Amino acid sequence: MRPLTLRRLLLQCFALLVILFVVVVIAIKFGAVPVSLYALGRDLWNVLLHQRSNISSDYVLIIQNIRLPRILLGIMVGASLSVAGTSFQALLRNPLADPYVLGVSSGAGLGAILALIVEPRVTLSPVFAALLTPLGAFLGAAATVTVVYLLGRREGQIDSTTLLLGGVITASFISAIIMFLMSTLTGNLRGLSFWLMGDLSTPLQKSVYWFLGIGFVFASGAIYTTASDLNLLLAGEKEAMHLGVDVPRVRLVVYIAASLLTGLAVSVSGAIGYVGLIVPHVMRLIFGSDHRTLLPTAAIGGAIAVVFADTLARTVVAPNELAVGAVTAVVGAPLFIYLLRRRLA
């Protein structure tokens, strides 16, 4: 018997954080304008010493204003999507659940676009106006989960194939509405590829990063309090109840928090697919399926995956850019098919 200890959990997270650090350094170094590691180290040193005059203008322009915010965004979006994916997999008892595959990301996108349309037409205080898009995305995500859940239910049980099919159809239906809205609208809306494929290149206001960070800590913290309940929920709701899990409460907490994470991520980065599917699977293979380990490792793993995918998206066809969602889909879609076939076998 080797029950999980806090020490082992922290060691695992630390190992992943080291990998994340390496990926972040790679992401800072590579791009349309390459930066040498020596120059990077020298500039960083000067930043630490507060010697502003010695910091190169390249550093300020490229690293501080462009790459670092984008990396930070990638970390938060990746962690959010990955934790949301892990939660949906436990909640729906389906290892193939993922915000993108289930259409939840599309729903969040639609909610965000509707909020953007409504925003200029109503007068709100600036603080609340900034929250309108993430709120719309959250409501869109929550509504889509409900619809897909109801579609996937047959005779009181969730049928996993019907659930996935319901998700895919819902996603394509919502995408059609998004395309329709985009073609009738002109003005200050982000491009179609942003909402359908996901993109981290749009610069954001500083307050949005704070909002994202606090939202992530709050929502994933709420999910983490149910980590050992989720372990039991995987065996079935009845069994979990007999083992002492307050099933309706856990379901509600995870449902709201996972929808919130998806909504937050989609409102700033569009629909980046398959992160919530690939990352939890890899982490399960490495660390096992205990959610007390899986949730934090999936969060860090998601950050690593999205920062890395975005670095590829920026560099592969430089000076042009790919949508980061295209990169994750190229890896994720074949993996999804593989997992689906193995399950049906």
Q: Which of 73, 229, 264, 326 binds another protein (CB under 8 A)?
A: 229
CB of 264 to another protein, least distance (A): 23
Q: Which is nearer to another protein, 138 or 224 (CB)?
A: 224
Alpha helix segments (H runs only) across the chain = 6-29, 37-48, 57-58, 68-91, 104-118, 126-151, 160-184, 192-197, 206-224, 227-233, 237-242, 247-269, 275-287, 291-315, 324-344
Among 42, 93, 190, 251, binds another protein (CB under 8 A): 93
Residue 10 neighbours by CB under 8 Å, 6+ apart: none
| Binding of residue 252 to another protein (CB under 8 A) | no
Of 174, 176, 155, 152, the closest CA to residue 164 belongs to 152
Q: For another protein, which residue of 179, 214, 235, 316 counts as binding (CB under 8 A)?
A: 235
In this complex, which beta carbon is closest to another protein, that of residue 10 or of residue 37? 10
Contact with another protein (CB under 8 A): which of 234, 256, 335, 340? 234
Binding range to another protein, per CB under 8 A, among 105-113, 243-251, 254-262, 312-320: 243-251
Site mask, another protein, residues 273-302, x = CB under 8 A?
-----------x----xx-x----------
Query: Cα–Cα distance between 149 and 344 in angstroms, integer?
Result: 21
Instruction: Report if residue 239 touches another protein, rule: CB under 8 A.
Output: yes
Spatial neighbors of 87 by CB under 8 A, at least 6 apart, are 223, 230, 254, 257, 258, 261, 295
The single residue among 50, 238, 341, 342 that binds another protein, judged by CB under 8 A, is 238
Residue 335 sits in the site that holds another protein (CB under 8 A): no
User: Binding another protein by CB under 8 A: which of 12, 87, 105, 231?
Assistant: 231
The alpha carbon of residue 80 and the mean position of all alpha carbons in its chain are separated, in whole angstroms, by: 4
Residue carrying the six token digits 């806090």: 6
Interacting residue with another protein among 236, 252, 330, 334 (CB under 8 A): 236
- For residue 280, the minimal CB distance to another protein (Å) is 10
Sign (positive/negative) of CA torsion 96, 81, 4, 18? Answer: positive
Backbone φ and ψ of 181, nearest 5°: -60, -40
* DSSP 8-state code for residue 103: T
Least Cα distance to 27 among 83, 74, 65 occurs for 74
d(CA 283, CA 278): 9
The answer to whether residue 247 forms part of the interface with another protein (CB under 8 A) is yes
Rounded to a whole number of angstroms, the minimum distance from the CB of residue 33 to another protein is: 45
Among 16, 55, 83, 232, binds another protein (CB under 8 A): 232
Q: Which residues are 158's β-sheet partners? A: 153
For another protein, the binding residues (CB under 8 A) are 1-6, 93, 95, 224-229, 231-232, 234-236, 238-239, 241-247, 284, 289-290, 292
